[in-house]
Amino acid sequence: MKKVLIVDDASFIRMLVKKLLTENGFEIAGEAEDGKSGVEKYKELKPDIVTMDITMPIMSGIEALKEIMEFDRNANVMMLTAMGQQSMVLEAINFGAKSFVVKPFKDDIFINTIKQILL
Amino acid sequence: MSNYNSNDALLEVFIFELSQLINQLEEQILTNEKMNYYSDSAVNEIFRIMHTLKGSSVMMGFENISSLAHSMEDLFYYIRRDGGQAIDFSELVDILLECVDFLKVEELKIREGYSLEGENSELLKKIKNLIPTINKEIKVKKIPCNNEILFSPISSQKDENNADHFYQAHIRFEDEISMENMRAYSIVHNLREVQNEIYYIPLDIIDNPDSAKIICKNGFYIFIRTGCCYETINNILRKALFINQLDLIEISDAKEFKQQVELFIQEDLMDEKIEIIDEQRDNVFEIRNEKSLSMQQNYVSAQESSVSMQHSFFGTQENSVSVQQNNISSQNNHFSTQQNHNSSQQSIISVNVTKLDKLMDLVGEMVIAKAMVIQNSDLAGLTLNNFNKSARQLNKITAEIQDMVMAIRMVPLSTTFHRMHRIIRDMNKKLGKETELIIIGENTEVDKNIIEHISDPLMHLIRNSVDHGIEMPEERILKGKSKSGNITIEAKNSGSDVHIQIKDDGKGLDRKKILQKAKENHMLTKTEEDISDSELFNMILSPGFSTKEIITEFSGRGVGMDVVSTNIELVGGSVSVESIPEQGTTITLKIPLTLAIIDGINIKVGSTFYTIPTTNIKEFFRPDITNIIRDPHGNNMIMVRGQCYLILKLADLFEVKGASSDFSNGIMIMMEENEKIICLFADELLGQQQVVVKTLPDYILRSKKIKGISGCTLLGNGGISLIIDVAALLRLDV
Amino acid sequence: MTEIDLSDSVTEEDTQKGRYLTFTLGKETYGLEIRYVTEIICIQAITELPELSEYLKGIINLRGKIIPVMDVRLRFKKDYCEYNDRTCIIVININEISVGLIVDGVSEVLSIDEKDIVDPPKINSTFQNGYIKNIGKVGSDVKLLLDCKKLLSEDELVEIDKAIS
């Protein structure tokens, strides 16, 4: 089973994503509620893929993405963003995010994005 | 037991977070208000809160919340980028607080299960109007010029490989994946290392979200000159996600390549131009409708200048690239100045309150079960040294568990207290007064169940203080006081109670007026001279009592203070009022630390058992008949050390059968509450016990609220003891 | 008498519908729908509460839970009868509210077919008829089947009072 690290400051979203992933056969490696602990957890847990919220306190998703990519060139990071944050998505792509999902997302799109990244 | 399916759990977490976010938002808005501007960190924090709120609410399908959040996010994005100077600060704050209020109402609706139909279009319009027209002007500049289409690639690499290949790719994405322009960008990004020259249409995928619509309609075109073979390019393209259709054709030579590119670019420009003109026309209509003359004038002049403005195709690109760079640098600034988030780094988990309630119940039953074991009648008269030792150990551990469970349920008063800032601000604004709020001891903790009953009374008391107590600023200055009034909320632990004091330095209570009103309502039981200030002032807690001539929106109906005291008494607390004319009024709320377990003394009257809370007992003794007298009204009184106290015979009050009516055959218990004393006569004193308070069954409470009984408890022998509400008994006789 | 716990005797909601617990008050037999009955216990010490209606006798301790008890005789405005060791308390539960009904004695659980159940007489000749839902015929006997909800409600009492006077 593929392991996923969920990084999002909204516990509501973490809960939703966790449920969705476990229902679709993924294992949850761990959760983090800000960018900084997200990076730490990545280094510690070495998940197969990370779902990363773009705006978070302490360290944003973009920063965290950068640090994770520096740590692991082949890291699979999928960004989660609410509509309308074009420039941030752009930045994320530039820094190596494999893909992004926009809220509100349909469950199958979310899962398919993850599956495709992991192919 | 409720069925907890995962959707309910999700909704609960959502609601919990929603209320947290709303509180954080309001706090941010208010704390910075005094400084008359929003610091970078405040702006960022508010932006982040709105973004999170938008994300979560949109996932749950709450459209009106997410659209409002989106609007506020845009507003703060603008402020973050351009600084907030162009916006009128106090207007901004008013609108923000209006938004907070809207969100609070929606939150309430979600909690109660109503459908959300909150109309937010007014609010959205107001927010939109705040963002100055500068934004609109930028759009205007973007009209590209037909004539000078500079044939320049979007990017290119210097090194020229062997044989160049030219390709044209046409890509369509799957429906409904949103942000197609970003996905397109992603593909371009993937090609950057292999391209020698690359063009794509539409061009403005980076900064124009509307290009996503164009991509949806027409698909995305890429023209690339590269040294790579067809296979390689095809593979790179296929790696992209959610592609519905991909056509990759090789173009034979450079000339045809150039022709194709030009053709497509021209068409795209045409489309774009038409779109922009349409939009501008709409904007003009909108502005006309909004009747803002100055804006219209600005706009007209902007229109005129745009006609004469001719931007080269290349120039437009540069513009958008530099805008993008600005964005990135502002992002970097944002990261470096961002303060640490308020939340502490402690490990905290959130627990469902029902679980805590259940735990509390179990602890209560454990206390009873323990009593049933240790005080079991089977053990009477036996010598049980080892048993007693173990029993003591059991007692100790049980007490610790009890303390721990109580501690878990304790919640600091800070959130409740901080809500008062908003109330004061609103009151100040509406009444034209100036009031400062000082909070002391906000970390004092109270049982979770009790907190809910404190909020409303507190709000009412604060409103009262500002409305009735604090004078207008001019008046205060005349009196030699500070211009702005002070209200202090102080909380502290005192024995097994929490004392909350609301103190204002206003004009105090008017003794004459209250006396007058008391007379009118026939509430005076003593003469004017005999009645003490404190007794008189405490009368304002009675229903229907109000000396304010005009009923305002906030107070004056005489309903408020009564509600305050009822609510506080509901949790077993008490309210007292003190005041000094011209100096201010102090209202003290005494609230028990916990509802559930109290120390009590068990007594027997007839065949019924009663329990009196230990905190209410001053002393008990066997009465001396010679000290007992009857007053002209037929009341029994007893003299104790020169003081005369009323005797209360529970047997009479509660109509208990089989009770002793002979004063020499019983015990007298002196009970006290709020400095009022009464002596209760009982048949027997049974002993002290730690008692788990249980409420009387709803079925009975619904038919009648029994005065004088606040609840019941189970005794060690399995019987039921009724817990006496001393404050209520004292009120009956006054 | 020992405690009779009825919860095991029923498997499905449906099978309870036509089943009634019968009890006696003097010469009459009444029936209660089994689905509302949670248990039957012997009479035990009742803690009286002041100020309540005459038929609300007070509260009892049922394994840690405090339950109000109602004297059904007094509820039906019959004469009060001293409690003895055959007096029972039937604990019913409607909408999460538990109330104990003090009755002279408990008889048996009967299954009554729908076709044997008829409407009560329209004329309220006796007080208790206000609480009767319908009448069940068992052999040659007639059982008065009670409406539990009406039994527990406060308002009905006043209306019935008026009807009688």
Q: Express each pLDDT in A49-99 by its tens digit.
A: 999 988 887 788 889 999 999 999 899 999 988 776 777 888 888 888 888
Q: How confident is the model over C98-153, as pLDDT tens digits?
A: 899 999 988 888 888 888 888 777 665 555 567 888 888 888 888 888 888 888 87
pLDDT over threshold 60, residue C68: yes
**Is the model more confident about B345 or about C59?**
C59
Give the pLDDT confidence score for residue B495 in this predicted structure: 67
- Looking at residue C123, its pLDDT comes to 61
Tokens at B366, concatenated: 């454990």
Residues 161-220 of B with CB under 8 A from A: 176-179, 181-182, 185-186, 189, 206-207, 209
Q: What residues are paired with A102 via a beta bridge?
A: A81
C52 touching chain B per CB within 8 A: yes
Instruction: Quote the CA–CA distance of B716 and B375 in Å, as a whole number.
Output: 7
Helix axes B385-409, B353-374, angle to 10 degrees: 160
pLDDT of A50: 94
Residues forming CATH 3.30.565.10 domain(s) in chain B? 411-592
Q: Residues B288-305: what's their mean pLDDT?
A: 45
Verify C-A touch: 3 or more CB pairs within 8 A: no
Q: What is the pLDDT of residue B334?
A: 35
pLDDT above 80 for B331? no
Cα B342 to Cα B27, B512, B541, distances in angstroms:
12, 50, 40
Q: Give the pLDDT confidence score for residue B337 in this predicted structure.
A: 30
pLDDT band (50, 70, 90) for residue C164: very low
- CATH class of this structure's domain B597-733: mainly beta
- Model confidence at B411: pLDDT above 80: yes
Provide the shortest C-alpha distance from residue C97 to chain B (in Å): 7
| Of B272 and B513, the one with more pLDDT | B513
Name residue B124's amino acid.
L
Query: What pLDDT does residue A65 have?
Result: 93
Chains in contact with chain A (at least 3 beta-carbon pairs closer than 8 A): B
B92 pLDDT tier (thresholds 50, 70, 90): confident
Long-range contacts: B334-340, Cβ < 8 Å, 24+? B334/A60, B334/B40, B334/B44, B334/B80, B335/A59, B335/A60, B335/A63, B337/B40, B337/B41, B337/B44, B338/A57, B338/A58, B338/B40, B338/B41, B338/B44, B339/B41, B340/A57, B340/A58
Those residues with Cβ within 8 angstroms of residue B208's Cβ, 6 or more apart along the chain or in another chain: B181, B202, B320
**Chain A within 8 Å of B396 (Cβ-Cβ)?**
no
Among C45, C64, C66, the residue with its CB nearest the CB of B712 is C66
Provide the pLDDT for residue C12: 46
Residue B300 has pLDDT above 70, yes or no: no
DSSP B311: B
Domain that holds residue C19: 4-164
From chain B, pick out residues whose CB is under 8 angstroms from the CB of A116: 241-242
Number of domains comprising chain C: 1
Cβ atoms < 10 Å from Cβ of C90: 22
pLDDT at position B481 over 80: yes
Q: What is the percent of chain A with per-residue pLDDT over 90, rounded to a whole number?
A: 45
pLDDT band at A48 (very low <50, low <70, confident <90, very high): very high
Residue pLDDT, tens place only, B195-208:
788 888 887 777 77
Q: How far apart are CA A90 and CA A100, in angstroms?
A: 10
Q: Is C97 on the interface with B (CB under 8 A)?
A: yes
Distances (CA, A) of B327 to A90, B334, B673, C87: 10, 10, 66, 84
Does position B14 have pLDDT exceeding 90, yes or no? Answer: no
Percent of chain B with pLDDT over 90: 5
Whether B677 contacts B609, CB under 8 Å: no
Q: Work out the average pLDDT over C74-88.
A: 87
- Residue B383 is predicted with a pLDDT of 84
The answer, yes or no, to whether residue B286 has pLDDT greater than 60, is: no
Flag if B714 and C64 touch (Cβ within 8 Å): yes
The answer to whether residue A16 scores a pLDDT higher than 80 is yes
Using CA atoms, how far residue B362 sits from B261, B353, B718, in Å, is 78, 14, 16
Instruction: Please tell me the predicted confidence (pLDDT) of residue A32.
Output: 92
* Per-residue pLDDT band at A38 (split at 50, 70, 90): very high
Give the pLDDT confidence score for residue A22 in this predicted structure: 92
Q: What is the rounded distance in angstroms from the CA atom of residue B404 to the CA atom of residue B549? A: 50
A68 CA to chain B: closest CA distance, Å? 17
Percent of chain C at pLDDT > 90 equals 13
- What is the layout of strands, in order, in the sheet containing C4-5? C4-5, C37-42, C88-94, C97-103, C65-71, C56-62
Please tell me the predicted confidence (pLDDT) of residue A66: 92
For residue C82, the domain's CATH number is: 2.40.50.180
B561-617 pLDDT per residue, tens: 777 877 777 676 778 888 888 889 999 998 876 656 677 899 999 889 999 988 888
- Contacts for C81 with CB less than 8 Å, ≥ 6 apart: C26, C73, C104
Residue numbers in B near C95 (CB within 8 A): none
Closest residue in chain A to residue B12, using alpha carbons only:
A12
Instruction: Encode pLDDT of B111-132 as tens digits.
Output: 887 777 777 788 888 877 777 6
B609:C59 CB<8 A: no
Chain C contact present for B720, CB below 8 A: yes
Q: Give per-residue pLDDT as tens, B416-461.
A: 888 888 888 888 888 888 899 999 988 888 887 778 778 888 888 8
Considering only the top CATH level, what class is B356-409?
mainly alpha
CATH numbers and ranges of domains, chain A: 3-118 (3.40.50.2300)
B440 forms bridges with which residues in the sheet? B490
Whole-number mean pLDDT of chain A? 88
Architecture per CATH, domain B4-132, reads as Up-down Bundle (1.20)
Confidence (pLDDT) at C28 = 85
**Residue C164 Cα distances to B566, B688, C125, C159, angstroms:** 39, 51, 8, 9
Phi-psi region of B443 (alpha: psi -120 to 50; beta: other; left: phi over 0): alpha
Give CA separation, B436 vs B424, B466, B481, B512, B583, in Å.
Answer: 8, 10, 14, 28, 16
pLDDT at res. B468: 84
Determine contact: B358 vs chain C, CB below 8 A: no
Q: What is the pLDDT of residue A47?
A: 93
CATH topology of domain B411-592: Heat Shock Protein 90 (3.30.565)
- Second CATH level (architecture) for the domain B148-275: 2-Layer Sandwich (3.30)
* C148 part of contact set with chain B, CB < 8 Å: no
The yes-or-no verdict on residue B667 having pLDDT over 80 is yes
User: Of B320, B262, B340, B379, whose CA–CA distance to B139 is shortest?
Assistant: B320
Residues of B in contact with C49 (CB under 8 A): 696, 700, 706, 709, 722
Residues from chain A contacting residue B179 (CB–CB below 8 Å):
83, 86, 89, 100, 102
Predicted-complex ipTM score: 0.81
3-state secondary structure B632-654: CCCCEEEEECCEEEEEEEHHHHC
pLDDT score for B259: 82
Please name the residue ranges forming H helices in chain A.
11-23, 35-45, 61-71, 86-94, 107-118
Over chain B, what is the mean pLDDT? 76
Residue B145 has pLDDT above 90, yes or no: no
For the ranges B144-148, B292-296, B414-418, the maximum mean pLDDT occurs at B414-418
Q: Is the pLDDT of residue B343 over 60?
A: no
